Amino acid sequence: MHARIVGTGACLPERVVTNEDLQATIDTTDEWIVARTGIRQRHIAADGQYASDLALSASRRALEAAGITPAELDLIIVATTTPDMTFPGTACILQEKLGANGCAAFDVQAVCSGFVYALTTADMFIRAGQVKTVLVVGTEVFSRLLDWTDRSTCVLFGDGAGAVVVRAADRPGILASRLHADGSLVDILSVPGSVCGGAIVGSPFVKMDGGAVFKAAVRVLAEVAEEVLEAAKLRSSDVNWLIPHQANVRILEATAKRLGLGMDRVVSTVARHGNTSAASIPLALDEAVRDGRIRSGQHVLLEGVGGGFTWGAVLLRW
Does residue 278 belong to the site contacting ligand ACO (CB under 6 A)? no
Q: How far is the CB of 152 from ligand ACO (least distance, A)?
A: 4
Does residue 217 belong to the site contacting ligand ACO (CB under 6 A)? yes
Residue 258 to residue 194: CA distance in whole angstroms: 38
**How far is Cα of residue 257 from the mean position of the Cα atoms in its chain?**
22
**How far is Cα of residue 120 from the mean position of the Cα atoms in its chain?**
13
Does residue 112 belong to the site contacting ligand ACO (CB under 6 A)? yes
103 a catalytic residue? no
Catalytic residue among 245, 248, 273, 299: 245
Which CB, 32 or 106, lies closer to ligand ACO? 32
Q: Which range touches ligand ACO (CB under 6 A), out of 91-99, 123-131, 241-249, 264-272?
A: 241-249
Residue 84 to residue 93: CA distance in whole angstroms: 8
Q: How far is the CB of 252 from ligand ACO (least distance, A)?
A: 10
- The residue of the chain with the least Cβ separation from ligand ACO equals 210
Catalytic residue among 43, 112, 248, 299: 112
Does residue 32 belong to the site contacting ligand ACO (CB under 6 A)? yes
Q: How far is the CB of 113 from ligand ACO (least distance, A)?
A: 8
Residue 233: how many CA atoms within 13 Å on its side-chain side? 0
Which CB, 34 or 104, lies closer to ligand ACO? 34
> What DSSP string describes the chain?
-EEEEEEEEEE--SEEEEHHHHHTTSS--HHHHHHHH---EEEEPPTT--HHHHHHHHHHHHHHHHT--GGG-SEEEEE-SS-SSSSS-HHHHHHHHHT-BTBEEEEE--GGGHHHHHHHHHHHHHHTTS-SEEEEEEEE-GGGG--TT-HHHHTTB--EEEEEEEEEESS-SEEEEEEEE-GGGGGGEE---EEETTEEES--S-EE-HHHHHHHHHHHHHHHHHHHHHHTT--GGG-SEEEE--S-HHHHHHHHHHTT--GGGB---HHHH-B-GGGHHHHHHHHHHHTT-S-TT-EEEEEEEETTTEEEEEEEE-
248 a catalytic residue? no
Instruction: Select the residue interacting with ligand ACO from 247, 270, 294, 315 (CB under 6 A).
Output: 247
Does residue 28 belong to the site contacting ligand ACO (CB under 6 A)? yes
Which CB, 245 or 317, lies closer to ligand ACO? 245
Does residue 210 belong to the site contacting ligand ACO (CB under 6 A)? yes
Does residue 214 belong to the site contacting ligand ACO (CB under 6 A)? yes
Instruction: Select the residue interacting with ligand ACO from 45, 93, 213, 225 (CB under 6 A).
Output: 213
Instruction: Select the residue interacting with ligand ACO from 40, 60, 97, 151 (CB under 6 A).
Output: 151
Q: How far is the CB of 238 from ligand ACO (least distance, A)?
A: 26
Q: Which range touches ligand ACO (CB under 6 A), out of 28-36, 72-80, 126-134, 233-241?
A: 28-36
Asked if residue 5 lies in contact with residue 172, where contact means CB atoms within 8 angstroms, the answer is: no
245 a catalytic residue? yes
Where along the sequence are the contacts to ligand ACO (CB under 6 A)? 28, 32-33, 36-37, 112, 151-152, 155-156, 189, 208, 210-211, 213-214, 217, 245, 247-248, 275, 305-306
Instruction: Tell me which residues are annotated as active site.
Output: 112, 245, 275
